[in-house]
Amino acid sequence: MKKPELLAPAGDFEKLKTAIHYGADAVYLGDSRFSLRGKAGNFTGQELRDAVSYARERGIKAYVTVNIFPHNRDLAGIEGHLEMLKEVRPDAVILSDPGLCSLFRRKAPEIGVHVSTQANITNSEAALFWQDLGAERIVLSRELSVEEIGGIREKTKVELEVFVHGSICISYSGRCYISSFLASRSANTGECTNSCRWNYALMEEKRKGEYLPVYEDDRGTYLLSSKDLCMVEHLEELAGAGVDSFKIEGRMKGINYVAGVVKVYREAVDSIGGPHGPGRKERWLRELAMFSSRGYTTGMFFGRQPDEDYHFGEESYRMSHELVGVVAGIDGGVAEIALRNRLERGDPVEFLSPGLEEKCFAVGPMLDPEGADILSARNGEVVFIGVPPGVRKNDLVRRPKNFGEKEDRAAGTAK
């Protein structure tokens, strides 16, 4: 069975490097002016050139998002952006608007066109429409089942891409207006305030004090806060349906999320068509639970599910581990760690390195850059500690979040 591409988010240069380090086949990135993740770090001018070159030098494809729904006032800026992209030569641009597709096909035919999930492609005729416009790939609507995807595959030649992991917008294929009405910032031009994540109660005007349940049916979602999508256990079904690319959501997420999710899905994609060792999928789910999420669902891929399988009913995101730092270099079993959090001798840490999954190590002697023995260090500082075999430069260091109470730190041992 053909193994689909693993496509990862690159909200800024550090996330791009992290995604590539942990095994992404391709990354998607954008300019804040024309991207639906306008609040991500993003790239402009020379940064975008450097990012695409960095990926290309490592054999990784780079797709640039130009997926806002533009108004007339945006067109001049987009045309200028198009001229710059002709020089940068990304592998493709990701678009939502038919007019922009026509513009890029006419003025930059050397750049491939991928059609965003925002275009609401839910049937084979819509897929053929975009195929006839010259699109090389379409990102299918999140409202489709695996069976429906297979039906589109049978009638088209265009590449198919689906989201397999990450946040789910409550609106149809992400075309949301809540932020526009409540904060005067349009999600459809990249300014979403995530208003759907605020706390709400639903009440019918003639039933004062009576709160009504919210639910979801086969045609879409009516929840104000969905669980996150997770299809790591079902990639073979999607590959069998003809999906060419698995996309991870998360340009607004941190490097801890990008690294951990890409690592797990790299292993899962590589295992397609092969045997699964005992407990492997269970380990993937345990690893994914370490990173920020609202709990997981398989969305619409398998049809109607109980309401509790979609709705996130807790007040905060779930995350069992926090980022401690990044391995900046290794020499003779000693690693230079660029800290992103406080670290103390005796803290239990885990290294996000292949082969070291679910293994915890207590921090031993810790040195500062001058070689002095220290007991603790803070975010922004650099320390040197001994690490087990298998840790690589650019790997992440994490710590269980439930370690940090005074008596645990005083004992200096891992739970």
Q: What is the pLDDT of residue 56?
A: 97
Among 115-119, 183-187, 216-220, 280-284, the range scoring the smallest mean pLDDT is 216-220
Domain locations in the chain as residue ranges? 5-309, 321-411
pLDDT tens figures, 122-170 = 999 999 999 999 999 999 998 899 999 999 999 999 999 999 999 887 6
CA distance 380 to 404: 19
Q: Comparing 277 with 384, which gets the higher pLDDT?
A: 384
Which residues lie across from 139 on neighbouring strands? 161
Structure confidence at residue 189 as a pLDDT band (50, 70, 90)? low
Length of the chain (residues): 415
Q: What percent of the chain is modeled with pLDDT above 70?
A: 80
CA distance 346 to 112: 52
Alpha-carbon separation of residue 50 from 23, 54, 62, 385 (angstroms)? 19, 6, 11, 32
Torsion sign over Cα 101, 169, 214, 216: positive
Maximal CA-CA distance, the chain: 72
- Is the domain defined by 321-411 classed in CATH 3.40.50.1000? no
Nearest Cα residue to 190 out of 30, 36, 71: 36
Q: What percent of the chain is modeled with pLDDT above 90?
A: 63
Topology of domain 5-309 in CATH is TIM Barrel (3.20.20)
Which residues lie across from 26 on neighbouring strands? 7, 61
pLDDT tens figures, 367-387 = 999 999 999 999 999 999 999
CA distance 193 to 75: 24
Task: Show the DSSP H helices in 22-176 as ranges.
Answer: 46-57, 72-88, 98-107, 124-133, 146-155
CA distance 259 to 316: 22
- Pair of tokens at residue 136: 């090389």
pLDDT tens figures, 79-115 = 999 999 999 999 999 999 999 999 999 999 999 999 9
